[in-house]
Chains A and B, each alone.
Chain A
Amino acid sequence: MSELIKKVKALLNDKTINVFVGYEKGSADRIRACFARNEAQANKVFFDASCTQNLAGYLLKHEVKHFGKLGILANVAALRSIMQLASEFQIKDGEVYVLFANPDGTFVEFNDFHSIEAYLQTTDTGIKAEEQERIASLEAMSNNERWLFWNKEFEKCIKCYACRAACPMCYCHRCTTDVNQPQWIPVASHERGNLDYHLMRAMHLAGRCVNCGECATACPMDIPLNLLTYQLISPIKETFGATAGMKADATYALSTYKPDDKENFII
């Protein structure tokens, strides 16, 4: 642990970075994000296997960016978020100092996007088995059963937008939900408003979701929102050969096409 703190202090001291986005111990055994800007704050930086939050979303937060050069303690999900954000021109190579927390407890510096890409090729970036099973069990249901399942889940939604706020890919300054001319999504958190919101969110993340699961973790009402976007990952890979968050110069699957894209439902 002291090694990580030492590293952060060194980075701050030699002005490589102005702020280090890492983890600290929070309340009731929770782990939370910390923003170390000086020695005292650096002393709080902490890491163990329970530090799972994807911190990449903070790289685009106005007040965090305002400090100047950012450093981040990244897990695999954060690395992929950085790749995806780079492909969407939100982060430039060299703009962020990336310290990767290896699952084996060591820390690796990634000096450029190329080394992140190379690492991601060698590691498991897939959806957890447990989530795959949940998706499979939903897919095995009848259409109507799925409708009832999601009805029940969306009924709980209070439209606090924690899912959107927690998602590193939801960085639009003016989300479709917030636009009122035309008003695509009812503001009300009634059945239709909730369904529209979640369909829209899933669709806008299709081909961009890096399966970090922050949306579902953030949801105070425990709605398994991540399944909506996770379910689209494999069809997009199979049909278009695209996986989000693997390459810094990737093209977004839904903003391109191939003349011979295959489908079986257009007559």
Chain B
Amino acid sequence: MQEFEPKIVAFVCNWCTYAGADLTGTSRIKYSANVKIIRFPCTGRIDFMILMKAFENGADGIIVSGCHPNDCHYSTGNFHARRRWIVFRNLLNFTGIDTERIQFSWVSAAEGFKWADVVNNTVKKIKEIGPYENYKKIAVSTLFNEEGASNE
């Protein structure tokens, strides 16, 4: 049997983590190819519904990452985001959504190594937990008349 290759979606801010991921690449550090990066202006822009959309379209895990506190390009975007995540994680836990599958991190533009670690560790963890079966039962693709209508 083939090893389970999780689909991970990373929502990252333009100024720190995206630049950090870029540094990972230019530094020729290898990291797992399971992750698909989506760039946002700021973590403050990452609406909680965006995370739900990722699960609904077949993601097994999610990474949300931005500038360290006090380093936000817009001064306070990540502070607002942090509050939102604190509350949102509570709500997700309460509704039985697996918060283990969502990794939040601060990765600066200088932390190429950290980004590789965040991705690799998340992929490793999701591989252990397995595919997100609960959510796949209600995914968008369940409406379609044939199986395997993925959105890649």
Contact = CB atoms under 8 A, between A and B. Distances in A.
A and B in contact, CB less than 8 Å: yes
Nearest to B98: A143
Nearest to B139: A192
A257 B94 contact: no
A84 to B, nearest CB: 17
A220 interface: no
Interface stretch (B7-15, B16-24, B27-35, B79-87): B79-87
Nearest to B107: A267
Interface string A113-135: 00000000000000000000000
Nearest to B92: A199
B83 A253 contact: yes
B96 A239 contact: no
Contact of B82 (A206, A232, A266): A266
Interface residues of A, number: 46
A254 B94 contact: no
Given A146-B95, A259-B79, A261-B82, A192 B56 contact: yes
A266 B70 CA distance: 15
Contacts of A261: 79, 82-83, 86
B103 interface: yes
A267 B103 contact: yes
Nearest to B84: A254
A207 B99 CA distance: 21
A235 B49 contact: no
Contacts of B52: 195-196, 199
Contacts of B99: 265
Interface residues of B, number: 39
A203 B90 CA distance: 10
A5 interface: no
Looking at chain A's contact residues, the main secondary structure is: helix
Given A257-B79, A259-B79, A192 B140 contact: yes
Contacts of B120: none
A191 B49 contact: no
A232 B95 CA distance: 12
Contacts of B98: 143
Contacts of B89: 265
Contact of A150 (B49, B95, B104): B95
Contact of A192 (B69, B95, B97, B138): B138
23 contacts: A139-B94, A144-B134, A146-B96, A148-B96, A176-B49, A191-B137, A192-B140, A195-B52, A196-B52, A198-B95, A200-B49, A203-B88, A206-B87, A228-B95, A231-B94, A232-B90, A232-B91, A235-B87, A239-B86, A253-B83, A257-B83, A261-B86, A266-B85
